[in-house]
Amino acid sequence: MRRPLPLLISTVLAALGGQVTLSCAPAAHAPPATAAGGSGAPAPSAEAEEGPSAAPKEALAWATLDAAMFAKAKAEHRFVVIDGSAEWCHWCHVMEATTYHDPEVRKLLDARFIAVKVDVDSRPDFEERYVDWGWPATVLMTADGAEIGKYKGYLPPEKFLEILQGVVDGEAAKSATGVDAAKDAGPALPLTPGQRADAAARVQKQLDEYWDAPQGGWGIKQKAPVAWDNAWALVHQRDRALFTLAQQRGIIDPVWSGVCQYSTDGDWQHPHYEKLMTVQAGAIANYAQAYALTHDSRWLSTALMVRNFVDGFMTSPEGGFETTMDADLNAHDPSKPFMAGGAYYAKSDAERRALGIPRVDTHEYGRENGLAIAAYVTLYEASGDATVLASPKRAVARILATHASDALPGGITHGTKPEDEGKVLYLADNAAFGWGLLRLYQATHDAPTLEAAKGIAAFMMRALYDAQAGGFYASTPDPNAVGAFAVRRKPFEDDVMAVRFLALLDRLASTREHADAIGSTLAIVTRPDAVDARGRMVGDLLLALDDVQ
């Protein structure tokens, strides 16, 4: 349970005229540098917020997103409202405290809805489907799993109440979109070399339109460390990449050296303080790559600082890489005083430790570990320091011991087997962890590591690849999925990772075993509508096009 926040938040919202979207995820579609800058005022930074003050009288009993919940909703003639939130997310904490525990909202929820909370880090399928709406993302559904509406970011109580009442009155329910059918554009034919070149030019043009010359980075409303954009630019647009990495230091914690998820206000000086392993891994790899290219020791120092943060705060005793660190202090513990990230991170190391450490999500997920393993290998290659390899070796041993699926040989589970064996397996985990295995093999030439990567590739081809139309599905079939969630999707980001993993595997194994899968998947992710939807986050696709040329 979390406590309601004081009136400061509603005062801030009123002052901004309700024109902003307050959320804790960097947007793919931050306005391009050529745009006028988007509508509305910039979102206030997390440091402007105060914390919870008093516990609600009765906590909301959240349901689980599963078939039993939808069956209950149907039997009781209820609608479903899903709170897609992240454990580390400041505005998710705010919305639960202020909105979901508002008396009028609670009254309507209790009467006509089933409220579901989804930790997006625990459900890659939900995260991939709704990342453009949050976090928090609010999804309204019928009892059959048809979407009624999707809403981005923090919703104040009065707005949320209006939305819920509209559903009850039938205004929104009439526009339910039904089952989210996957687009079927027919079988994807592999691109010719000329088509790949044309696609690369088109994607680069799109990325260039988002370049922010005064501030660095791509996109002007939110400044985010988009690691794949940086990695591609370090090879093809080095001056832009180095300028961005220099500017990006503004969102590195000067005390502990963790990299914040993004900055508001169109600059690098207003960070949201959550620390994600995906962001740390990208920063380690980017700064190490910058050092390898320039031999400027400042880049190596930065990479090593971020590595020290990961080693000290986000690595398990068993060697696995953990998931996230909260933006705020005590957001999950109502018995302790809440402190927003801005106030907490302004303090010294000793002052912070005296107050406590923000909560770390200690789950060891496959994707996060794969990306971190690869980043540490890049750091080893740049620095020549053999001791750096100890961490990725331990992480590989840990994940193979705790995540290797018995039910689906070759694949790895999302979390550890005691939690996730028997559940669906995700492309995100397998492609990224397979990539990490191959990067470690490149550094060590350890044959069992290569064999483990081959096992993952065989699993992906057997259980996730669409041999008829091309491309990889986001997960294995889920027999308990309902409505929109029963439709298997082919996610851009994870399909691109699959291309890069399989292309590297074929190079290292001197085969063309996966050429057809690589070609058909690349054809799908280079379609103009798929690329357009990614906005500024297309560096991974540009790298994939480099990989297969």
CA distances from 536 to 100, 130, 137, 367, 544 (A): 33, 17, 21, 21, 16
pLDDT at 114 over 70: yes
Half-sphere exposure of 21 (CA within 13 A, CB side): 20
Percent of the chain with pLDDT over 70: 88
pLDDT tens track for 494-504: 999 999 999 99
Beta carbons within 8 Å of 428's beta carbon, 6+ residues apart: 124, 128, 366, 367, 474, 491, 493, 494, 497
Residue 182 confidence (pLDDT): 44
pLDDT tens track for 406-448: 999 999 999 998 888 889 999 999 999 999 999 999 999 999 9
Retrieve residue 311's tokens. Answer: 């080693």
Query: What secondary structure letter does DSSP report for 357?
Result: P
Lowest mean pLDDT among 10-14, 193-197, 344-348, 526-530: 10-14
Retrieve residue 456's tokens. Answer: 């993952």
Number of CB atoms found within 10 A of residue 514's CB: 21
pLDDT tens track for 156-168: 999 999 999 999 9
Amino acid identity, position 54: A
pLDDT at 69 over 90: yes
> Residue 47 — pLDDT band, cuts 50, 70, 90?
very low
Region 149-177: mean pLDDT is: 86
With beta carbons less than 8 A apart as the criterion, state whether 222 and 45 touch: no
Helix (H) or strand (E) holding 162: helix 157-168
pLDDT tens track for 242-280: 999 999 999 999 999 999 999 999 999 999 999 999 999
The pTM assigned to this predicted structure is 0.90
- Starting at the earlier edge strand, list the strands of the sheet with 79-85: 113-119, 79-85, 137-141, 147-152
Lowest mean pLDDT among 38-42, 104-108, 208-212: 38-42
Helix (H, G, I), strand (E, B) or coil at 149: strand
With beta carbons less than 8 A apart as the criterion, state whether 533 and 492 touch: yes
pLDDT at 53 over 60: no
pLDDT at 103 over 80: yes
